[in-house]
């Protein structure tokens, strides 16, 4: 039901080239991620965590597949470098955000009854709901343990991660509450997405900057840049949830429409004050559209009521604002930080600029 912030869904078909900084970050973070999972004392929790992270298959054997692109860890490392630190300083934070991201995916899949992720059965389908809830909890605890053990700046990063976790929880809670809520305003949906998606992107930059010892003002600028780009990223996801082609998104076409989800384009259409908006409200009132004909009609109404345009314009505006925040942070005084700041800007672009 829930629009995912999972950048991997288009692994096979994504057209923009993956920035090289993402692959470099993965090489650096991968061993530390394995080490963090290895430190889980319970073998069942280790197995489930590693499966969720794509480290191995359901039986614990090495097997390709199920990996995310790991954009968040890359953002942590780039933020550390962009404020003048070494990429290595960001590794504990990178592991922590990847663990928290996957903790939330594992739990959300249970709540949303999603049965597939990254072309594999979801954790609760493989291991049962109870064990999946527990493994999510263990991953959250492991994220904090990683920072406490390996990040010398954990006095700043641990509270920042916990505050982010509270925002993630709040966003997912709002998402559950908003499902098929006909009274939702765009602001409600945006506030939900701010927690559900933008908070962890913001926190990725925040943890990197904190781990490199950046000033509070610079940390706040980077976090805000991440938040703005994260929200833009979610709006693109929302657009793809209306008009996305199954072959491109890896989900059924118009998946959010089929799920009856009140995403930003849908709510923008419903609140547009147009005849098409009113017609859409009538169509969606009782239940999500079921037949392909109904789905196509709903998509057409969202488009003609201006819902997609609104979301696209807002995503563009947010991305531009994110770049302004980055610029305002005053990064790039020397060549190394300048390059890192450029890489960071490129990854934020990559996050948002998909085919839409």
Neighbours of 336 (CB within 10 A): 14
Task: Kindly state the smallest distance separating residue 256's Cβ from its own copies, in Å.
Answer: 18
Report d(CA 68, CA 145) in Å as an integer: 22
Residue 291 structure tokens: 């037949």
Letters for 43-82 (x = contact with its own copies by CB under 8 A, - = none) are -xx-------------------------------------
Distances (CA, A) of 167 to 85, 86, 195, 280: 27, 28, 5, 31
**Does the footprint of its own copies cover residue 28 (CB under 8 A)?**
no
Cα distance between the two ends of the chain = 21
Q: Specify the stretch interacting with its own copies by CB under 8 A; choose among 12-20, 35-43, 66-74, 76-84.
A: 35-43
3-state helix, strand, coil in the chain (%, to 5): 70, 0, 25
Letters for 91-110 (x = contact with its own copies by CB under 8 A, - = none) are ----------------x--x
Question: In the range 153-192, which residues lie near its own copies by CB under 8 A?
Answer: 158-159, 162-163, 165-167, 169-170, 172-174, 176-177
Q: 76 or 178, CB closer to its own copies?
A: 178
Report d(CA 72, CA 199) in Å as an integer: 11
Q: How far is CA 227 from the centre of its chain?
A: 11
Answer for which of 28, 111, 321, 327 binds its own copies (CB under 8 A) is: 111
Contacts with its own copies by CB under 8 A: the residue count is 37
Distances (CA, A) of 283 to 126, 182, 244, 257, 276: 36, 12, 20, 11, 10
Task: Kindly state the smallest distance separating residue 338's Cβ from its own copies, in Å.
Answer: 35
Q: Specify the stretch interacting with its own copies by CB under 8 A; choose among 39-47, 236-244, 303-311, 347-355.
A: 39-47
Task: Kindly state the smallest distance separating residue 169's Cβ from its own copies, in Å.
Answer: 5
**Residues 228 and 194: beta-carbon distance below 8 Å:** no
Task: Kindly state the smallest distance separating residue 220's Cβ from its own copies, in Å.
Answer: 18
* DSSP tag of 63: -
Q: 177 or 246, CB closer to its own copies?
A: 177
For residue 222, what is the enclosing H or E element? helix 216-243
**Residues 118 and 65: beta-carbon distance below 8 Å:** yes
Q: 65 or 152, CB closer to its own copies?
A: 152
Report d(CA 8, CA 5) in Å as an integer: 9
**Residues 71 and 16: beta-carbon distance below 8 Å:** no
Q: 198 or 298, CB closer to its own copies?
A: 198
Q: 141 or 283, CB closer to its own copies?
A: 141
Report d(CA 196, CA 82) in Å as an integer: 26
Task: Kindly state the smallest distance separating residue 32's Cβ from its own copies, in Å.
Answer: 18
Residues in the chain: 356
The region, left, alpha or beta by phi > 0 then psi within -120 to 50, assigned to residue 185 is beta
Task: Kindly state the smallest distance separating residue 35's Cβ from its own copies, in Å.
Answer: 16
Q: 31 or 128, CB closer to its own copies?
A: 128
Residue 232 structure tokens: 């833009």
Q: 63 or 148, CB closer to its own copies?
A: 148
Question: In the range 120-159, which residues lie near its own copies by CB under 8 A?
Answer: 128-131, 133-134, 136-138, 140-142, 144-145, 148, 158-159
Q: 13 or 166, CB closer to its own copies?
A: 166
Residues near its own copies (CB under 8 A) are 40-42, 44-45, 107, 110-111, 128-131, 133-134, 136-138, 140-142, 144-145, 148, 158-159, 162-163, 165-167, 169-170, 172-174, 176-177
């Amino acid at each position: 039901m829930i629009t995912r912030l999972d950048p991997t869904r288009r692994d096979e078909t994504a057209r923009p080239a993956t920035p090289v900084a993402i692959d470099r970050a993965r090489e650096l973070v991968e061993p530390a991620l394995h080490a963090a999972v290895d430190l889980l004392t319970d073998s069942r929790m280790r197995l489930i965590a590693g499966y969720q992270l794509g480290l191995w298959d359901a039986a614990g054997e090495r097997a390709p597949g199920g990996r995310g692109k790991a954009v968040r860890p890359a953002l942590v490392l780039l933020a550390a470098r962009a404020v003048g630190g070494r990429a290595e300083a960001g590794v504990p934070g990178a592991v922590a955000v990847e663990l928290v991201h996957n903790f939330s995916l594992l739990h959300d899949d249970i709540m949303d009854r999603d049965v597939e992720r990254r072309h594999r059965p979801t954790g609760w389908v493989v291991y049962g709901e109870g064990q999946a809830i527990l493994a999510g909890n263990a991953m959250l605890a492991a994220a904090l343990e990683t920072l406490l053990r390996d990040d010398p700046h954990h006095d700043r990063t641990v509270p920042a991660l916990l505050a982010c976790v509270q925002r993630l929880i709040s966003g997912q809670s709002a998402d559950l509450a908003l499902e098929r809520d006909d009274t939702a305003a765009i602001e409600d949906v945006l506030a939900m997405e701010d927690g559900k998606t933008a908070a962890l992107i913001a926190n990725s930059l925040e943890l990197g900057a904190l781990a490199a010892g950046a000033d509070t003002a610079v940390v706040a600028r980077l976090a805000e840049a991440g938040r703005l780009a994260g929200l833009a990223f979610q709006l693109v996801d929302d657009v793809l949830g209306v008009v996305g082609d199954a072959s491109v998104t890896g989900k059924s076409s118009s998946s959010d429409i089929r799920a009856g989800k009140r995403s930003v384009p849908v709510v923008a259409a419903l609140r547009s004050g147009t005849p098409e908006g009113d017609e859409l409200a009538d169509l969606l009132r009782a239940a999500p559209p079921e037949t392909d004909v109904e789905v196509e009609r709903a998509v057409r109404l969202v488009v003609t009521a201006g819902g997609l345009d609104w979301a696209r314009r807002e995503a563009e505006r947010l991305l531009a604002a994110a770049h302004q925040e980055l610029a305002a942070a005053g990064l790039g005084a020397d060549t190394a930080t300048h390059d890192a700041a450029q890489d960071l800007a490129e990854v934020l672009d990559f996050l948002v600029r998909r085919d839409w």
